[in-house]
């Protein structure tokens, strides 16, 4: 079992520890807890985490984490853990009715975004986030809400009755093919387990008819301090908040003779468990291999040995992701997407997952392929080149986190402390992790990694799970056939992965640098603008928000509006994807990713209706690499027939069953209505894919990105325009792009919303009946800051009103979404979108 594996694995770890400062620690000595977090436990068992953090200033996040969820429900409570979560916002001892929402929205904390909660099988988490902290009274109120959520939710019968309709609408809104298949699949994957019986949203018969006492029984039994943690992170006085927590929560009594919180097992299996589930509305086939493993004992998990296991698991996931991506780049690939990872399956078991999405009609081949990939891991593990790239990526990520240690958002720390409380994950702090990774990562070798990786692919405790569309063209193997395929994979002759070393530079021949022709400083905005000799404009806005990040945007007017032949629009819509998929310069996409390993850099081109440009980012040390990628996008896109065929095949697989998905039909109909049935409207479907031409896509991209004189490049973050290295790099990779000196404007394509009142009612057969509604109001309005503020305010006001009326009073919908938008192309216009689902 895994415990034995780790003891054997410890031999490799001892080699590392013997020459390190950590040699003073035993392998199973607990890792330190980050000294920057105040961690404690009250006598009644309640745990708390408090940390001061000024990102953002004058704000804090307040969480109560319950180590209980739907898995603990009795049969007559099926769905009530989630129902209870809703009731927490419908009255507590100190905040009757909707006072929690009303009070915190009055101080700028938005319901849904910053006032919310979630329920899962094993946990329930409530939060008030981005709460102002300048007034002590607001902090006190936030803590008082957490106190009430812990033990003083009112659960009034009138509120319970009113909430039944809201829950039913949430069930209806979420009744997707994926949810139905997940629920049925769990029954087959986890036979005899509590995990086969619960699905969070619950049984609609229970939701409609349960007695209030059943809900109160669950609340009294499981919401108690020994199963709760308070997390407060933000711009607060840690000692003051700790004292407030002690005073406020210490009087909550743990119930006498409280039952132990059970950890439900899923049972071992010698023979493979096969699960096959289909649904008419499913969009694609999903094949999963799940190799179940025992969890690490807590004393190992919280030790340096357990930390190293986590590091190697991260490396394995990275290498498997790269292998799957390489496969999907082949035109004859049996699957179009895939990933592998090691993590928690349920609270009592971990698992090594391998997941692929086969092409329609190649379901059996997809299963065979992923089984063979598992066999390759088991027999050969990974090679040194793969490992070195994964190590470089991990080292760079940890370095960036360390460099940004003073600029982390509150939510990042909250997630760490939640994982510590719920799953006993270590929280040693980034300073410790940075020093430890620097020490151990260079000494991690293929022998150590492969020892662990090979142990994950086992002959026992295997689950094969298939979820697929229910249609004639999807041909699934029987359970008996799957067992035969598993055995065949074990006997198949395979070879270890071999790859060539890539030693070429990203750019072999450097361009002739341009020059700065004009410099303009704006002291009010804190910007510096350069006009380069090729006409390109470059704007710098240095900031100190993050130490190791440079953000980048570029824009030029024109976009798809410059395409006059309507038949070319599909190629234009796909132009940036074709370029990204084909690679740049001398490198296909696979090789490009390899040479960029160990770097934090991203350059993403886009072409919208009336504009084209880039977005991207880099670490400070990778700034030049980012500029090189920009240069290559302008000068060295490439044709790759295999890559293009693979891209189209992947899209075809994802769209193969889209015509049976009612949500896709609804969104397409809305899109056509909003463009008044314009022939320029391009829907993502099979007909569109048939019109995409690689040569035309590359031609359109080259035209849209042909002239730097028509672009404005904006760099923000830790970038200094007075730095000579920055100046030289900009002059070389942006100033060195050849220019025609051409300036463009967009072409009015006459795409407008319909005039007057336009309606479209249509019906589709659905597995769960519902009505989806989209209402759009529009009108001419000048494009300025004041009007943008006003239209956004209208959207916010309506969101609040619809919450009170449609959701809370009527129970008619889980939620009404309202969004205001102001646009200036092709005409200046305001739009107000209202969307919701409801019962038939």
Model confidence pLDDT, tens digit, residues 189-235 = 999 999 999 999 999 999 999 999 999 999 999 999 999 999 999 99
- pLDDT bin (cut points 50, 70, 90) of residue 8 is very low
DSSP tag of 344 = E
Q: Please work out, in degrees rounded to the nearest 5, the angle formed at the alpha carbon of residue 230 by the alpha carbons of 224 and 236.
A: 155
Q: How many Å apart are CA 528 and CA 726, to the nearest integer?
A: 13
Overall fold of domain 37-249: Cytochrome Bc1 Complex; Chain A, domain 1 (3.30.830)
**pLDDT over threshold 80, residue 18:** no
Average pLDDT value for the chain? 94
* Residues of the chain above pLDDT 90, percent: 90
**How far apart, in whole angstroms, are the C-alpha atoms of residue 725 and residue 315?**
34
CATH superfamily of 516-733: Metalloenzyme, LuxS/M16 peptidase-like (3.30.830.10)
Whole-number Cα distances in Å, 806 to 102, 166, 201, 812, 813? 17, 9, 21, 6, 6
In this predicted structure, the answer to whether residue 691 has a pLDDT above a threshold of 60 is: yes
Q: Sorting pLDDT into bands at 50, 70 and 90, what band is 26? A: low
In CATH terms, the fold of domain 2-29+268-401+420-491 is Cytochrome Bc1 Complex; Chain A, domain 1 (3.30.830)
For residue 7, is pLDDT > 50?
A: no
Q: Measured between alpha carbons, how far is 644 from 658 in angstroms, rounded to an integer?
A: 22
The per-residue pLDDT for range 478-533, each reduced to its tens digit, is 999 999 999 999 999 999 998 888 889 999 999 999 999 999 999 999 999 999 99
At residue 270, the pLDDT reads 97
pLDDT at 668 over 90: yes
Shortest CA distance to 199 belongs to which of 349, 66, 79? 79
pLDDT tens column, 582-607: 999 999 999 999 999 999 999 999 99
pLDDT at residue 19, as a whole number: 46
Q: What is the mean pLDDT of residues 725-741?
A: 97
pLDDT value for 215: 98
Which residues have C-beta within 8 Å of that of residue 544, sequence separation ≥ 6? 718
Please give the Cα distance from 40 to 47 (Å, whole number). 6
HSE toward the beta carbon, residue 485, CA cutoff 13 A:
21
**Choice among 117-121, 595-599, 654-658, 723-727 with the minimum mean pLDDT:** 654-658
- When pLDDT is averaged across residues 433-461 and rounded to a whole number, the result is 96
The alpha carbon torsion through 266, 268, 273, 279 (nearest 10 deg) reads 10
CB-based contact 518:530 (threshold 8 Å): yes
pTM equals 0.92
Q: What is the pLDDT of residue 320?
A: 97
- Tokens, residue 184: 């049925």
What average pLDDT does range 51-75 have in this prediction?
97
d(CA 795, CA 816): 11
Alpha-carbon distance of 94 to 117, in angstroms, equals: 19
* Cβ atoms 264, 72 nearer than 8 A: no
Tokens of 259: 């039952």
pLDDT at position 696 is 98
How many whole angstroms separate alpha carbon 648 and alpha carbon 697?
Answer: 13
Q: Is 2's pLDDT higher than 50?
A: no
**What pLDDT, on the 0 to 100 scale, is given for residue 469?**
95
> Does the pLDDT of residue 642 top 60, yes or no?
yes
Across 503-512, 711-720, 801-810, which has the greatest mean pLDDT? 711-720
Measured distance CA(52)–CA(135) in Å, rounded:
16
The two three-digit tokens of residue 523, written as one number: 């002291």
Please give the pLDDT value at position 154: 98
pLDDT bucket at 16, cuts 50 / 70 / 90: low
The half-sphere exposure of 147 on its side-chain side, counting CA atoms within 13 A, is: 19
The Cα–Cα gap between 401 and 378 comes to: 33
Picking from 413, 7, 498, the residue whose alpha carbon sits closest to that of residue 233 is 413
């Amino acid at each position: 079992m895994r415990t034995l594996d780790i003891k054997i694995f410890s031999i490799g770890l001892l080699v590392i520890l013997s020459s390190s400062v950590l040699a003073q620690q035993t392998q199973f000595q607990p890792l330190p807890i980050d000294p920057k977090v105040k961690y404690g436990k009250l006598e009644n068992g309640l745990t708390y985490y408090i940390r001061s953090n000024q990102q953002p200033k004058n704000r804090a996040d307040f969480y109560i984490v319950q180590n209980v969820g739907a898995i603990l429900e009795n049969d007559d409570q099926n769905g009530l853990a989630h129902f209870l979560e809703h009731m927490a916002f419908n009255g507590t001892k100190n905040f009757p009715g909707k006072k929690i929402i009303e009070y915190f929205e009055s101080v700028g904390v938005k319901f849904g975004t910053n006032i919310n909660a979630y329920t899962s099988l094993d946990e329930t988490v409530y939060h008030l986030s981005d709460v102002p902290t300048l007034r002590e009274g607001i902090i006190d109120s936030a803590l008082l809400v957490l106190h009430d959520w812990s033990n003083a939710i009112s659960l009034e019968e009138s509120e319970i009755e009113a909430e039944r309709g809201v829950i039913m609408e949430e069930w209806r809104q979420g009744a997707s093919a994926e949810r139905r298949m997940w629920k049925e699949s769990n029954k087959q994957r986890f036979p005899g387990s509590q995990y086969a019986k619960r699905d969070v949203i619950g049984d609609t018969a229970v939701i409609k008819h349960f007695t209030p006492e059943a809900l109160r029984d669950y609340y009294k039994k499981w919401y108690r301090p020994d199963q709760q943690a308070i997390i407060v992170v933000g711009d607060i006085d840690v000692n003051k908040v700790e004292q407030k927590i002690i005073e406020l929560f210490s009087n909550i009594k743990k119930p006498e003779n409280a039952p132990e919180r059970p950890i439900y097992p899923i049972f071992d299996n010698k023979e493979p468990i096969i699960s096959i589930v289909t649904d008419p509305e499913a969009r694609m086939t999903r094949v999963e291999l799940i190799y179940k493993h025992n969890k690490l004992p807590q004393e190992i998990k919280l030790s340096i040995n357990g930390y190293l296991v986590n590091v190697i698991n991260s490396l394995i996931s990275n290498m498997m992701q790269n292998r799957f991506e390489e496969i999907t780049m082949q035109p004859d690939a049996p699957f179009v997407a895939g990933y592998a990872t090691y993590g928690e399956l349920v609270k009592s078991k971990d698992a090594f997952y391998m997941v692929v999405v086969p092409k329609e009609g190649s379901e059996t081949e997809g299963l065979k392929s992923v089984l063979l990939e598992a066999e390759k891991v088991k027999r050969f593990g990974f090679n040194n080149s793969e490992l070195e790239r994964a190590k470089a990526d991990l080292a760079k990520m940890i370095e960036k986190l360390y460099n940004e240690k003073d600029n982390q958002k509150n939510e990042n720390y909250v997630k760490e402390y939640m994982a510590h409380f719920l799953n006993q994950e270590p929280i040693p702090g980034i300073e410790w992790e940075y020093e430890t990774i620097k020490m151990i990562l260079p000494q991690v070798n293929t022998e150590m990694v492969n020892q662990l990786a090979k142990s994950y692919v086992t002959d026992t405790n295997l689950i094969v799970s298939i979820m697929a569309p229910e249609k004639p063209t999807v041909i699934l193997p029987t359970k008996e056939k799957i067992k035969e395929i598993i055995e065949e994979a074990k006997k198949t002759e395979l070879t270890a992965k071999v790859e060539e070393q890539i030693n070429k530079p990203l750019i072999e021949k450097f361009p002739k640098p341009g020059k700065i022709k004009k410099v303009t400083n704006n002291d009010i905005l804190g910007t510096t603008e350069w006009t380069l000799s090729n006409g390109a404009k470059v704007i710098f806005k240095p900031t100190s928000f993050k130490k190791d990040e440079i953000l980048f945007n570029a824009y030029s007017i024109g976009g798809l509006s410059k395409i006059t032949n309507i038949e070319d629009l599909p190629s234009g819509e796909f132009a940036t994807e074709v370029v990204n998929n084909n690679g740049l310069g001398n490198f296909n996409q696979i090789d490009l990713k390899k040479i960029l390993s160990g770097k934090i850099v991203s350059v993403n081109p886009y072409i919208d209706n009336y504009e084209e440009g880039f977005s991207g980012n880099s670490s400070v040390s990778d700034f030049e690499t980012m500029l090189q990628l920009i240069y290559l996008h302008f000068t060295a896109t490439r044709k790759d027939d295999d890559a293009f065929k693979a891209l189209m095949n992947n899209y075809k697989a994802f769209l193969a069953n889209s015509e049976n998905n009612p949500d896709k039909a609804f969104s397409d109909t809305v899109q056509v209505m909003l463009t008044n049935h314009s022939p320029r409207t391009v829907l993502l479907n099979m007909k569109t894919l048939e019109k995409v031409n690689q040569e035309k896509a590359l031609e359109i991209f080259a035209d849209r990105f042909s002239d730097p004189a028509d672009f404005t490049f904006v760099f923000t973050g830790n970038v200094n325009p007075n730095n000579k290295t920055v100046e030289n790099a900009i002059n070389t990779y942006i100033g060195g792009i050849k220019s025609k000196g051409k300036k463009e404007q967009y072409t009015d394509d006459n795409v407008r919303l319909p005039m007057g009142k336009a309606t479209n009612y249509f019906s589709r057969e659905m597995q769960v009946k519902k009505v989806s509604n989209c209402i759009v109001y529009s009108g001419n309005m000048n494009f300025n800051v004041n009007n943008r503020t006003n239209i956004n305010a209208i959207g916010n006001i309506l969101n609040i009103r619809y919450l009170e009326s449609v959701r809370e009073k009527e129970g008619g919908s889980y939620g009404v979404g309202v969004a205001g938008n102001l646009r200036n192309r092709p005409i200046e216009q305001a739009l107000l979108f209202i969307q919701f689902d409801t019962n038939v």
